[in-house]
Amino acid sequence: MGGYHIPRHMVLFNDHNLRWPFERTGLRVVDHAHLASSAFWVQPPQHWLAESTLAALAPLCGLLNVPLVAAFVAFDLIRARAGVTSNPRLVAQRLL
């Protein structure tokens, strides 16, 4: 899960609203992390450009654009220290 694919993603999860459904159904959160994911940053503009009159620019926003991908990985790693990225991960287990 994750990514800011507006308007396709109608809910952007944070720690609270991601944990709530698991805990409400009797699962225990055993681990959570905020992962870097440049794809969540570069692909939405790429798709938007591909469907616009600027389609020729779409390849510039792809995953093959190493400087752009590196910049967004760095951005997400900095944000991870604050406890938020575009790609949260939660691991839960059933209580016995």
Q: Report pTM.
A: 0.62
Determine the residue type at 72.
Answer: F
pLDDT band at 79 (very low <50, low <70, confident <90, very high): confident
pLDDT of residue 48: 84
Do 34 and 88 contact (CB within 8 A), yes or no?
yes
pLDDT tens-digit map of 1-36: 345 555 666 677 777 888 899 999 999 999 988 888
Place of tokens 């009159």: 53
The total number of residues shown for the chain amounts to 96
Place of tokens 């944000």: 79
